[in-house]
Amino acid sequence: MKIVITDAQTVFDEIVTAAPIYELGETKEFGLLKYDDVAESIKDAEVILCNKTVLDKNSLRLAKNLKYIGLFATGYNNIDIEYCRENGIAVCNAGSYSTNAVAQHTFALILEHFNNTAKYGKYVSDGKWKRSKTFSPFVYPLNELAGKTIGIVGLGSIGTAVAKIANAFEMKVIAYNRSQKNVEGVTQTDLDTLLRESDIVTVHCPLNDDSQNMFDKAAFEKMKRSALFVNTARGGVMVEQDLYRALKDGKIGGACIDTLAVEPMVEDCILMDAPNCIITPHIAWAPVETRQRLIDIVVENIKSFYRGERLNRVV
């Protein structure tokens, strides 16, 4: 089979490579195709593998032999699903590959907010502890997670994993989900109640018409003034201007963000100037073990398709 990888540098490095994919057939690997170059680059492909490349009616128009699109991702909003359905092109995603990684990063952000580890590390490296009058200088506040209420928006695999960790920290766990789910240690509630009662609001829902701009001025105003907002889901679930204003005006206590509406971050991103805001560059999903698991899933999806099976099929 003829395989084209359109944005290899978003997945692979010197540790996690595309070698398992090359074993499947004639493979052409592009680092990061520009949209205008996609159509010509994939015209002979039978299989296209991508992460965030936009594959729509225009960019797919020359790919007359295309049978299959495989995603290095769970979300597939970059794929023209209707076009693929009309043209008999199978689409498979890689669901649940990053569950533990994203849950881990969520708590890395939460712990950084409440423990100020980086700030205290810099305090020491700057030589300030050497000049301290006490053995424990209370320069930055620290707070326990035990007893705090964490509100989880979206009880899929990641949200459920976050709940499990939160229970280990002896937190009160509440959640909002479109359907009722029975998750141990979690009390489901409506969104307004979650926003009102939570010390931490963490988002783990997919980006769709229901969640687009869910966290806007009205949502932030319902939260506690001390609340922490965490987004490791998709940038589109929040209105960045409204989050900035909520932080600037002290409407909420802080934010930890791993994803933005436009990535990489634009030069004039307003959140760069937001107080009490920690931003990481969309790396919650990216540990070495996680990316290797992702490649294994993508390879197995292709093998399954050619066996006539429907593993992780979206279309």
Classify residue 134: in a domain, yes or no.
yes
Active-site residue, 234 included: yes
Catalytic residue among 105, 113, 204, 234: 234
Over residues 44-94, the pLDDT tens digits come to 999 999 999 999 999 999 999 999 999 999 889 899 999 999 999 999 999
Active site residue 282: yes
Residues 44 and 59 both lie in one domain: yes
Give the mean model confidence (pLDDT) for residues 298-312. 97
Q: Tell whether 154 and 144 lie within a shared domain.
A: yes
Residue 223 maps to a domain: yes
Query: What distance in Å separates the CA atoms of residue 73 and residue 69, rounded to the nearest whole number?
Result: 12
Q: Which of 26, 144, 221, 263 is catalytic?
A: 263
Residues 76 and 220 reside in one and the same domain: no
Q: Is residue 299 part of a domain?
A: yes
274 plus 294 within the same structural domain: no
- The single-letter code of the amino acid at 190 is D
For tokens 């939460």, the residue is 110
Global model pTM greater than 0.85: yes
Same domain assignment for residues 108 and 241: yes
Residues 210 and 298 in one domain: no
pLDDT greater than 90 at residue 96: no
pLDDT at 226: 98
Taking only the tens place, the pLDDT of each residue in 175-185 is 999 999 999 99
Query: Residue 221 corresponds to which amino acid?
Result: E
Q: What is the CATH number of the domain that holds 204?
A: 3.40.50.720
pLDDT in tens, 253-304: 999 999 999 999 999 999 999 999 999 999 999 999 999 999 999 999 999 9
Shared domain check, 118 and 62: no
Same domain, 238 and 258: yes
Q: Is residue 312 part of a domain?
A: no
Q: What pLDDT shows up at residue 75? A: 85
- Give the pLDDT score at 85: 98
Whether 258 is covered by a domain: the verdict is yes
Pair (69, 114) in one structural domain: no
Q: Which domain holds residue 44?
A: 2-97+288-306
Please check whether residue 314 lies inside any domain of the structure. no
Residue 297 and residue 252 share a domain: no
Quick check: is 311 in a domain?
A: no
* Half-sphere exposure at residue 93, Cβ-oriented, CA atoms within 13 angstroms: 15
Give the model confidence (pLDDT) of 99-155 as tens digits: 999 999 999 999 999 999 999 999 999 999 999 999 999 999 999 999 999 999 999
Asked if residue 81 lies in contact with residue 307, where contact means CB atoms within 8 angstroms, the answer is no
DSSP for 171-210, please give it: -EEEEE-SS----TT-EE--HHHHHHH-SEEEE----STT
Q: Are residues 123 and 253 in the same domain?
A: yes
Pair of tokens at residue 260: 């933005």
The answer as to whether 262 is a domain residue is: yes
Element spanning 230, H or E: strand 228-231
Q: Give how many domains the chain has, as a whole number.
A: 2
41 plus 187 within the same structural domain? no
pLDDT at residue 246, rounded to an integer:
98
Please tell me which residue in 105, 113, 204, 282 is annotated as part of the active site: 282
Dist. CA 73–CA 75, nearest whole Å: 6
Q: Tell me: the pLDDT tens digits for 196-215?
A: 999 999 999 988 899 999 99
User: Does 225 participate in catalysis according to the annotation?
Assistant: no
